[in-house]
Amino acid sequence: MARLERPWARWSLRRTLLAVLLPGLALVMGLELTVSWRNDLAAANAAFDRSLLGAIKAMDANISTDDGGLSVELPYRMLEFFELTASGQVFYRVASGDGLVEIGDAGLPAPPLPLVEGRPQFHDAQFFGVPVRVGSYARRLPRPLSQGSHSDRVLIQVAETLQSRQDFTRRLLLESVARDVLLLLAALALVALAVHGALRPLQRLRAEVAARGSADLAPIDPQRVPKDVQALVQAINRHMQRYQEVLGQQRRFIDDASHQLRTPLTTLATQVAFALRERDPGRREAALLAMKEQVDGAIRQANQMLALARADTAQLAGEGASVDLLALAEGVARQLWPLARQQGIDLGLEPLAGAGCAQPAVALGHAALLHEALANVLHNALLHVPRGGHVTVQAGVQQGQALLAVRDDGPGMPPEARARVGERFLRVEGAAPQPGAPRGSGLGLAIAQAIAQRHGGALTLADARPGQPRPGLVAALRWPAALPGEPLANQG
């Protein structure tokens, strides 16, 4: 089932950033406007309530109870001053605690909560259908009243209409909105500029890559992009390097194939022309046998070059597969037994034994590639060991290392030649194949080395019998013997 792709996964970085940042800024600005409105309303109410409290205090200062009654010496000029300050109508009420004596507007609404003496209380109310803000204040009298009431408590209320308060709050809120809108526009402009500036290095990188030729695989300078993108650029560089290596391997394969097959094909064409001209049946048969030998050699050389190309580019699975090393070695030995018998060589197979050798001999690896590697090493030994010699194939797991080895008692290989193990078409001076043996292609050890490296190991060469006239040779494939379930090392 195809994986569903999120719609925004195809968006550009600029669109994604703006789609996240702009609504976020708008939401934050909306919250800020809400908070500003509440704060402005509270500030306006606090300012106007302080003005009401000043009126209450002024009225309280003009209350007289000297004659036993309740009176307010409030000049009309003071009332007019209150109305001028409030920019609207002002109402007042002075009453005894029991309400029997009242002065001013008797219909002013009572406070919603019981008054605490000396602590003013403010609330919104309706007075004859007009919205008003009422301030209420109560205090104790020096002595109880004696005329009209015997209360020792006085209640003072001053109310004003809300028009001036609302106008002031509206202006304050509009100023806050204008300020916040300007800030929002400035923030949006900064976000747009920041996004554009942050993406400019990526645009330059895109233009630089687009302007490159198809053969230009030079690495991109990671220092020219932001730090957050450097990891991506480095990954692209590694990918281009791997691709360049693959192209190099393909070029080498084509060059090797053209170089190595040109001579056999030319020789084959000459032999065909000779056979066509030859009238003697015996000599014609000899020419045909030579042609067959030449074709067989070319086929083997082509197969080995293809095997080397596969070894260079093979991708091993993440966990590999369990390989029975003894069974694999036995299969290779059986495959090359006819060549060993033809060469008169004693070919044997033995498992590793002794301290540090694990049983059973199972390791993770690519069975087909390992078979190809061991077959090439064994074929190389059978070509160079003299008739009557001995060749032994060994397999097992020793001290955490998987081992496939070929041990012989042949002439061996000089140390300077061993240092070049893995080179293509390597020809060791003085190590020609035995008479009657097919000529090798010089690719066997290169194939084995490439396969060993694909498994995270190496091909090692050493004397089988140091100090002897015929030291022999031990060619061993070694790689980490990961247990089942562990990842298979891959150095390719």
302 & 323 share domain: no
389 & 293 share domain: no
336 & 352 share domain: yes
Average pLDDT of the chain, as a whole number: 79
- Judge whether residue 211 has pLDDT over 80: yes
363 & 448 share domain: yes
Token pair of 347, please? 């070919």
Note whether 91 and 108 are within 8 A (CB). yes
Domain count, the chain: 3
Domain holding 268, by residue range, is 213-313
Range with top average pLDDT, 159-168, 186-195, 227-236, 327-336:
327-336
* DSSP code at position 224: G
Looking at 136, 170, 204, which one is the last position of a domain? 170
Measured distance CA(1)–CA(13) in Å, rounded: 28
Looking at 294, 313, 332, which one is the last position of a domain? 313
307 & 322 share domain: no
Q: Helix H segments across 385-486?
A: 415-418, 444-454
pLDDT of residue 2: 44
350 & 309 share domain: no
**CATH (domain of 454):** 3.30.565.10
274 & 341 share domain: no
pLDDT of residue 490: 47
The proportion of the chain whose per-residue pLDDT surpasses 90, expressed as a percent, equals 13
- Judge whether residue 492 has pLDDT over 50: no
Average of pLDDT values for 95-119? 87
pLDDT of residue 356: 64
Looking at 258, 284, 313, which one is the last position of a domain? 313
Query: Peptide bond preceding 226: is omega within 30 degrees of 0, i.e. cis?
Result: no
Average of pLDDT values for 377-387? 89
Residue 383 maps to a domain: yes
Residue 408 maps to a domain: yes
pLDDT, tens digit, 9 for 90 and up, residues 402-451: 999 999 998 888 887 766 665 655 555 444 455 544 554 567 788 788 88
**Position 348 confidence tier, pLDDT thresholds 50, 70, 90:** very high
299 & 371 share domain: no
336 & 450 share domain: yes
For residues 235 and 15, the model is more confident at 235
Average of pLDDT values for 2-29? 69
252 & 235 share domain: yes
431 & 378 share domain: yes
Residue 155 maps to a domain: yes
Average of pLDDT values for 181-191? 83
Residue 400 region, left (φ>0) first, then alpha (ψ -120 to 50), else beta?
Answer: left
Residue 434 maps to a domain: yes
Residue 2 maps to a domain: no
- Judge whether residue 130 has pLDDT over 80: yes
Average of pLDDT values for 241-246? 79
**Position 311 confidence tier, pLDDT thresholds 50, 70, 90:** low
- This prediction has a pTM of 0.47
- CA Rg value for the chain: 51
The proportion of the chain whose per-residue pLDDT surpasses 70, expressed as a percent, equals 79
By CB atoms closer than 10 A (0-12, 13-18, 19+), residue 187 is: middle
Average of pLDDT values for 270-291? 81
For residues 310 and 57, the model is more confident at 57
45 & 155 share domain: yes
pLDDT of residue 393: 95
